[in-house]
Amino acid sequence: MMSVFIKTSIKSTLYLLFGVLFISCGSQEFSKNELLEFNGKFPDESAKDVALSFSDSGRVSFELFSPILNKYGGDLPYMDCPQGIKIISYDNEGVAEAIMTADYAISEEATEKMEAHSNVVITNLKKGDTIKTEKIVWNKRDKRIFSDVQVRQIRADGTVNIGDGFDADDRFTKYTVRNPRGEILADDI
């Protein structure tokens, strides 16, 4: 019962945060030339220089940064970050665990999935490992991050693996590279 309350409370908090974000940014007018058109559609709402914190039980668990965040309504509402995104995850003590950056991100409300595309880099700050790829999917319901495209894993010791994708928890603390091959030292590249 408490778990349902917490999930509902977190979801309500997120909606409130996005509502406040867009209301507070509503006074700033954007011209159509400043906004990214997507499939002939302009966003219903936009915000510049976005910095959001997501907390659980009073502790910051994620921070999201983006130069522009657009919100689109309709039958399949979604948000996108057409000029890139940076997400930092934190452990229970408030120490940064991982950082993910990408040139583009889209989050679909109905499926609770976020995709990041182009120059995706995820770094586990505690282990010092980095994954580089062109696409990841973050399934918020399953608390899982994965990729089905080629990835490059660079370990803290300089070892590099190429793989056919990866699977990880949503904090990128535990992950596996699919079909790893080609271990070489980064200095040899």
Which residue is associated with the tokens 């409370």?
9
Cα gap 152→103, rounded to integer Å: 17
Q: Which residues contact 68 (CB under 8 A, 6 or more apart)?
A: 36, 46, 47, 48, 50, 81, 82, 83
Tens of pLDDT, residue by residue over 42-56, are 888 999 999 999 888
Please state the domain extents for the chain.
Answer: 2-29+42-188
What kind of fold does domain 2-29+42-188 have according to CATH? lipopolysaccharide transport protein A fold (2.60.450)
Q: Count of residues for the chain?
A: 189
Residue 78 has pLDDT above 60, yes or no: yes
Burial 166-187 (b: 16+ CB within 10 A, else e): bebebbbeebebeeeeeeeeee
Residue 17 has pLDDT above 50, yes or no: no
Q: What is the mean pLDDT of the chain?
A: 80
**Rounded to two decimals, what is the model's pTM?**
0.74
Residue 28 has pLDDT above 50, yes or no: no
- Cα-based torsion angle of the residue sequence 168, 170, 173, 177 in order, rounded to the nearest 10 degrees: 10
Cα gap 115→11, rounded to integer Å: 19
